[in-house]
């Protein structure tokens, strides 16, 4: 779904609301499928280095009269990991959750945000 379900992003209220509903639905459904060997979990990605993110930074840079590189540097300076996630990291986590090695992980929300979420739970 999205890390925004734990830490809403200003201006993305409709998206966050829909994703929150999906997140809750999947968590509830997971309890009814696990006895048949079907596990359901949610991945909650934060900022990942994708073409969409680059496009967002380009638009932000235009609005602010700065370069995209300056917009990215400002964001990374505030990020605990000082980098964005790599798409393969999300893919590897998804593959793990779909493997036999994760058969007892069910109904969970796996937050992948490089430590951006400031809370404990």
Please provide the DSSP assignment of 5-28 as one string: GTSPPTT-HHHHHHHHHHHHHHHH
Query: Within this chain, do residues 58 and 92 fall inside the same structural domain, yes or no?
Result: no
Whether 96 and 39 share a structural domain: yes
Condensed to tens digits (0 to 9), the pLDDT of residues 2-15 reads 999 988 888 888 98
Query: What's the pTM?
Result: 0.87
Please give the tally of structural domains in the chain: 2
Kindly state whether residues 1 and 43 are assigned to the same domain. Answer: yes
The backbone torsions φ and ψ at residue 30, rounded to the nearest 5 degrees and listed phi first, read: -55, -35
One domain for residues 27 and 5: yes
Distance between CA atoms of residues 90 and 104, nearest Å: 20
Same domain assignment for residues 25 and 60: no
Phi and psi at residue 20, to the nearest 5°: -65, -40
In a shared domain, residues 108 and 56: no
- At 48, list the tokens: 């990942």
**By residue range, what is the domain housing residue 114?**
1-47+85-121
pLDDT tens digits, 11-41:
888 988 998 999 999 989 999 999 999 999 9
């Amino acid at each position: 779904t999205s890390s925004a379900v734990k830490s809403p992003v200003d201006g993305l209220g409709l998206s966050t609301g829909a994703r929150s509903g999906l997140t809750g639905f999947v968590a509830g459904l997971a309890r009814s499928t696990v006895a048949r060997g079907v596990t359901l979990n949610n991945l909650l990605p934060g900022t990942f280095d994708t073409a969409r993110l680059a496009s967002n930074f380009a638009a932000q840079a235009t609005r602010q009269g700065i370069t995209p590189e300056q917009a990215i540097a400002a964001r990374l300076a505030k990020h605990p990991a000082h980098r964005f996630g790599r798409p393969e990291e999300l893919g590897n986590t998804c593959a793990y959750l779909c493997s036999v090695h994760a058969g007892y992980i069910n109904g969970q929300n796996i937050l992948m945000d490089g430590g951006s979420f400031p809370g404990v739970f």
